[in-house]
Amino acid sequence: MPEPSLRERLGAAVAARSAEAAPAGRFSEWNSRSGIFFWTTGRKTGRAHMKEFGPFAGRGDTLYLAEEIGKRADWVRNALHNGRAEVAPTASGPRLAVTCRVVEEPEASLARRALHECISYGTFEQDFINSALILAFEVTATAECEADA
């Protein structure tokens, strides 16, 4: 049997990647957005803090975020201290309650690949994702939240 052509090999690779598509879930449809919003509660003040964020990647009911300065970022410290946050695709949209955790290997490799697939930036951003702290936000059992008035 003859060796497959480059076109055939690329087609097979694309088909394999499509078969590995992100699982359906609450965050999968958010991947087309350029940013998301999330709220944490201050670990010292107890006040709500809103932040617009990107890059991110949704895979099913898990949302992956990359943070350049890692655990030193106040929002990361707040989210990890409280173990929870709230996220929404828009600042005024309905929020989802999520738990927060630092992502370790081998899941971190999957999360970085998902982030790379959601971002069409240049080399700087790709390198940023490779060196950033990866956090996972997962939908809780009681996902819907009431926005603060």
In a domain, 11, yes or no: no
pLDDT (mean) for 8-22: 48
In a domain, 54, yes or no: yes
Identify the pLDDT of residue 3: 73
CATH number of residue 90's parent domain: 2.30.110.10
In a domain, 131, yes or no: yes
Reported as a single tens digit per residue, the pLDDT across 25-39 is 788 788 888 889 989
The strands making up 84-88's β-sheet, listed across from edge to edge, are 48-53, 36-41, 84-88, 95-102, 133-145, 62-67, 56-59
In a domain, 9, yes or no: no
pTM for the model stands at 0.74
In a domain, 15, yes or no: no
Closest CA to 79 of 26, 133, 14: 133
In a domain, 128, yes or no: yes
SS3 105: coil
DSSP secondary structure, 37-94, as one string: EEEEE-TTT--EEEEEE-SEEEETTEEEEEETTGGGSHHHHHHHHHSEEEEESSTTSP
- Residue tagged 């690779």 (tokens): 13
Residue 108: which domain range? 22-145
**Neighbouring residues of 48: CB distance < 8 A, sequence distance ≥ 6:** 39, 40, 41, 42, 148
Domain count, the chain: 1
Reported as a single tens digit per residue, the pLDDT across 50-94 is 999 877 888 888 999 988 889 999 999 999 999 999 999 999 989
